[in-house]
Structure 1
Amino acid sequence: MTETATSFRLFCFGFGFSARALVRRLLEAQGTEADWTVAGTTRSRENAAELRAAGVEAYLFDRTHPLDPAALQGTTHLLVSVAPDDPDDGKGADPVLDCHAEDIAALPALRWIGYLSTTGVYGDWQGAEVDETSELRGAKGRNLRRIAAEAAWLELQAERGLPVHVFRLAGIYGPGRNVLDQVRAGRARRIDQPGHLFSRIHVDDIAKTLQASMARPCPGRVYNVCDDEPASAAEVTAYACELLGVTPPPPIPLEQAGLSPMALSFWEDNRLVSNRRLHEELGVTLDYPDYRAGLKAILAEEQAGEVPHSRE
């Protein structure tokens, strides 16, 4: 440890794509401004073993298997990416709060909590712009549970003074999880739905945003996390094909695409998500401000052998 570095402990409820990106970013700067220890949860013994091999304190957790509260001791920063559920016993939608709200509230050194939500909470605005003050119209299933979970975390902040921040993430992509892999696998489709744009965000820019919030906490604040250029799915697919030098698939109407109910649900809502607060309050300049920058960078990393083509 350097003389000026401060020691922090990050605990991640859920150790998925976004959490791993944040941990990589923090550890890359290890010792320059802070020294980090990292702990997190998973539902799989295999994943727990993988995390431990990488130097992460790993614990098994779900609603039916709560943690020993001692696992949280020493935590200064808490990231929650566990999805809300629909319990049969009438409890709240968020398993972390149901199992550990009191344990979290009792942590003496806690200085930042990040709850990862989704822009799906806004529901359908028929293409109009939404920001963090807009009405939440997500009227179905998983979006209703997200709205309830957000409210529960923000209520905990208001009542107990905890440093809770909510991050509403757009569609996440990054190395091993992107349209380039879909094109290579022959699964990409170019769905033609005029006037329907999607927001997206590169996973490394999620990590950059979370790190900026850690440095400038503003408890109770909500942030939209998306890039600067909403775009149609057809446009993004065509660009991926261009990068790979293949002919793009023909456009097909949405009603002929044969999508699963889950996939189709993403097309039911149409909105433009504003990220002004991310730029103005957190001072974040995105590394990948649009899908072109993100996909070009992923392809360059693949060609340099830095990442595999797919992690599916």
Structure 2
Amino acid sequence: MAKTLLSFGHGFSARALARLLIPQGWTIYGTTRKPDKADALRAEGVTPVMWPDGDLSAAFDAATHLLISAGPDAEGDPVLNRYRDQVTAMAPRLEWAGYLSTTGVYGDHQGDWVTEDTALTPSTRRGRMRVEAEADWQSIPGLPLHIFRLAGIYGPGRGPFEKVRQGTARRIVKPGQVFSRIHVDDIAQVLEASINRPNPGSAYNVCDNDPAPPQDVIGYAAELLGLPIPPEVPFDEAEMSPMARSFYAESKRVDNTRIKQELGVCLTYPDYRSGLAALLAETGGA
């Protein structure tokens, strides 16, 4: 039977999933706000639909699978705010639905480990909005929902190499600070594995095996490029945007056992070293 994915907020992670599904014969509808991006999606084999005013009737009628990448805002979840009735109507006939959330829902654990069973105690406004959005999607009757809590995403075009080359990278040091991260291609393979082995109601941490201090990642990128390692800057002295500073408000190690045991995932990039080395080899770090 033909498979059709309706992808709201068809961005970095969703495009990586599309690269896996389209060769298998899938039809993919992806929403975007930008006309130039619509052209790029069309070139990738995706049927673009402009958000928020495009006509999604054909996509709602055909969809067998649903992916939500669009994040919430102060008004709540943008997809449910606009299309709750349509989503509710299609929910019972969907084979799979995936919501891309964030590990920020767990809040700060001072470097300790969190699992999918850890209480959701977000300490940032963005984290609280994500918890509310997860609950809003869980409230849709009959929706075969799977929640994916993503760590810090990197991949082609999203990595530290450019800043290191430009000399603008900083090794900001906050004692005890660790982040988990994930290569976009591994996000895609986790989503595909879940589509092939659905378990509605599940939540999955999507991260690699090696939580690490952010300054170590910058230092390794410099080593790969053969450039001087940027100097350390104490967190208390660093000039940072409120958004950047908010990331340092939380420190935790995220456990990824469930994606391996339940979904059978073997990460292509199990740590930032393998991921950054592959990026540099494939794209020159672009």
Query: If the TM-score is normalised by the length of the shorter chain, which range does it land in?
Result: over 0.9
Aligned to 2:234: 253
Aligned equivalents of 2:148, 2:214: Cα separation in 1: 23
Q: For 1:237, which of 205, 212, 218 is the aligned residue?
A: 218
Deviation by residue 1:181-230 (Cα, 9 ceiling, x = unmatched): 22122221111222111100000000000000000001011000000000
Choose which of 82, 106, 126 in structure 2 pairs with 1:122: 106
**Residue deviations 1:63-89 (CA, integer Å, cap 9, x gap):** xx47543432110111100010112xx
Letter in 2 for 1:254: F
The one of 246, 254, 257 equivalent to 1:265 is 246
Distance in 2 between the 1:144 and 1:194 partners? Answer: 25
Could you tell me how far 1:137 is from its partner in structure 2?
1.4
**Is 1:195 aligned to residue 176 of structure 2?**
yes
2:44 aligns with one of 54, 65, 86: 54
How far has the Cα of 1:238 moved from its partner? 0.8
Q: Quick one: structure 1 residues 301 and 155, their matched pair in 2 at CA, closer, same or farther if it must change by over 3 Å?
A: same
Q: Any conservation in 2 of the 1:74–1:109 contact (CA below 8 Å)?
A: no
Alignment partner, residue 135 of structure 2 = 151
Among 105, 127, 130, which residue is 2:88 paired with? 105
Name which of 70, 87, 96 aligns with 1:82.
Answer: 70
Secondary structure of the residue aligned to 2:104 is: helix
Cα-to-partner distance string for 1:137-195 (whole Å, 9 max, x where unaligned)? 11332111111000111122xxx221100000000000111011221222211112221
Matching of residue 96 in structure 1 with residue 86 in structure 2: no
- Unaligned stretches of 5+ in structure 2? none
| Residue of structure 2 in register with 1:3 after alignment | none
Q: CA deviation at 1:288?
A: 0.3
Equivalent of 1:19, from 14, 21, 27?
14
TM-score (norm 1): 0.87
**Residues 208 and 269, structure 2, Cα contact 8 Å, conserved in 1:** yes
Cα distance in structure 2, aligned partners of 1:203 and 1:54? 17
Q: 125-134 or 11-20, which moves further after superposition?
A: 125-134
Equivalenced residues, count: 285
Q: Deviations over 1:12-57 (max 9, x none)?
A: 10111001100012224x2xxxx21111101112222332343321
Cα distance in 2 between the residues matched to 1:60 and 1:133: 37
Matches of 2:228 and 2:44 in 1, distance apart?
41
* Counterpart amino acid of residue 86 in structure 1: A
Are 2:11 and 1:10 equivalent residues in the alignment? no
Residue 173 in structure 1 maps to residue 146 in structure 2: no
The residue identity in structure 2 corresponding to 1:161 is G
- Quote the offset at 1:302 in angstroms: 1.9
Q: Give, as a single letter, the amino acid of the residue that structure 2 aligns with 1:111.
A: E
Is 2:24 the partner of 1:41?
no
Measure the CA separation in 2 of the matches of 1:214 and 1:131: 21
What is the alpha-carbon distance in structure 1 between the residues aligned to residue 36 and residue 15 of structure 2?
A: 16
Give matches, 1:196-235, under 5 Å: 196-235=177-216
* Alpha-carbon contact 1:69-1:103 (below 8 Å) kept: no
Distance 1:25 1:181 in 2: 27
2:123 to 122, 130, 139: 139
Which 4+ stretches in 1 moved above 3 angstroms? 65-71
Partner Cα separation in structure 2 for residue 232 and residue 16 of structure 1: 27
Mapped partners of 1:299, 1:49: distance in 2: 27
Contact 2:208 2:270 in 1 (8 A): yes
Equivalents in 2 of 1:111, 1:121: separation in Å? 26
Identity %: 52
RMSD: 1.5
Which residue matches 1:186? 167
Distance, in Å, in 2 between the alignment partners of 1:46 and 1:124 is 38
